[in-house]
Amino acid sequence: MTDNLYAPPKTITAIDAGQDNAQTFYVVSPRKLAILFWGTFGNYVLYLFYKNWALQKQATGADIMPVMRGLFSIFFVLDLYQLADKRLTEKGETHPWDIHSLATKYIVLVIGKNVLERITISQPFPQLLALGMLYGVYRTLAQAQNGLNLAAGDAEGTSNHKLTAANYVWIVLGVALWVIVILGLLSMVWPGLLK
């Protein structure tokens, strides 16, 4: 840490050659990603980004705050994808992904979804459109996670494919949120339905 309060934060530029075996990207299987993303109403994204940045901090010693990078992922998504792409290049591997396009889609979809959820809370169409955008967020994350898994040396995500007890707790909470949202949408379409 520097004494200069106005110095920009240091970025993660590379992983030391001696740290090649350190896990630097969070691995998750496509099946588990789908279950946890949809089971938590998309909130798994917070943990996904947090965990990736926590592993980067641990492997590189960079002065970053993984919690904040998880909460404000739209500002750091491209940085993460660039690190993974650089890692793939260093390993001599290729992956057919356009990191700029994936990051842009993620940012636009997350912002759009959040705006739609708040713009007209009492109208069903914007809420349904926001749910559609949530699907877009999932598709974008699933494509990017394939690249992150490959950069971590586990293309299929086999090292993290089983659901844990904590995963089930989050899924139960997410399902409760799904029920609330569905009941809310139904009450907008048929106002007397829940009386």
CB 151 within 8 A of CB 87: yes
Instruction: State the number of CA atoms in the 13 A half-sphere of 116 facing the CB.
Output: 17
Per-position pLDDT tens, the chain of length 195: 556 655 555 555 544 434 455 689 999 999 999 999 999 999 999 999 999 999 999 999 999 999 999 999 999 999 999 999 999 999 998 888 999 999 999 999 999 999 988 876 677 888 889 899 999 999 999 999 999 999 999 999 999 999 999 999 999 999 999 999 888 888 877 777 666
Q: What is the value of pTM for the model shown?
A: 0.84
Residue 83 C-alpha from the chain's centroid: 15
Residue 103 C-alpha from the chain's centroid: 11
